[in-house]
Amino acid sequence: MENPAQDKAFPVSWDMFHRDSRALAWRLSSEGEWKAIVCITRGGLVPAGIVARELGIRTIETVCIASYHDYDSQGSLKVIKPIDPKVIDLEDGEGSGVLVIDDLVDTGKTLKVVREMLPKAHYATVYAKPVGVPMVDTFITEVSQDTWIYFPWDMGWQFQPPLSKETAG
Ligand SMILES: O=P(O)(O)OC[C@H]1O[C@H](OP(=O)(O)OP(=O)(O)O)[C@H](O)[C@@H]1O
Ligand SMILES: Nc1nc2[nH]cnc2c(=O)[nH]1
Ligand SMILES: [Mg+2]
């Protein structure tokens, strides 16, 4: 959903996203022995799959969160599906050794909700905006707060007409 408040665009192709998600996996490979991944749907699904393949992690859980953009309020978050208790109970029951993955952190509101469920987990996103940086432990690329990131799954190819009209010659 286009956000009119952002006046810079950061379009990300599948190739770029794959490269940046692999870079995140590489960074995380030296930051801990990961028992499981919790991915925040829906944006965390693709990066979680790439990181899981690179790090050989096969226990992958989801936490399903929807944000509602009401017209008057800034927007509210709803937990549609919580984290499976089996994953919560791994290790110390507070998320040690668990990797929480999302595509990006913007205001940090989404990660804040998940941090309340797993305070000791490691939080990683591919992209980050300045306001959300304090909420994330590892990320690859920071973009300015007034940039809107366009992910490959939100975009498609379209015809670009020639710059100038056909000439006679
Ligand atoms: O740091 P925040 O301000 O919370 O914004 C970041 C969140 O917003 C987007 O998800 P969205 O809520 O649009 O749902 P989706 O992942 O299902 O598209 C994105 O995937 C992050 O989860
Ligand atoms: N696609 C997309 N979703 C977002 N949700 C919060 N910030 C963003 C963003 O920059 N791009
Ligand atoms: Mg999301």
ipTM: 0.99
User: pLDDT tier at 168 (50, 70, 90 boundaries)?
Assistant: confident
pLDDT band for position 1 (50/70/90)?
very low
* Residue of 72, 24, 26, 79 whose CA lies nearest to 46: 24
**For this structure, is 89 an active site residue?**
no
Q: Comparing C-alpha atoms, which of 115, 161, 151, 118 is closest to residue 136? A: 115
Q: Is the pLDDT assigned to residue 85 strictly greater than 60?
A: yes
Q: Compute the average pLDDT of residues 89-117.
A: 96
- Tell me the CATH architecture of domain 6-154: 3-Layer(aba) Sandwich (3.40)
| Domain ranges within the chain, ordered by starting residue | 6-154
Is-catalytic flag, 70? no
Mean pLDDT value across residues 16-22: 98
Identified catalytic residue from 92, 106, 146, 154: 106
How far is 101 from 48, CA to CA, in rounded Å?
Answer: 6
Q: Is the CB of 115 under 6 A from ligand 1?
A: no
Q: Ligand 1 center to residue 146 CA distance, Å?
A: 15
pLDDT at position 167 is 85
Contact between residue 37 and residue 60 where contact means Cβ atoms under 8 Å apart: yes
Ligand 2 site, residue 17, Cβ cutoff 6 A? no
Q: Which tens digit of pLDDT belongs to each residue from 121-135?
A: 999 999 999 999 999
> For 99-127, what is the mean pLDDT?
98
- CA 48 vs. chain centroid, Å, equals 9
Mean pLDDT of the chain: 94
| DSSP element (H, E) containing 150 | strand 147-150
Work out the burial of residue 79: count CB atoms within 10 Å of its CB; fewer than 13 is exposed, 13-18 middle, 19 or more buried.
Answer: middle
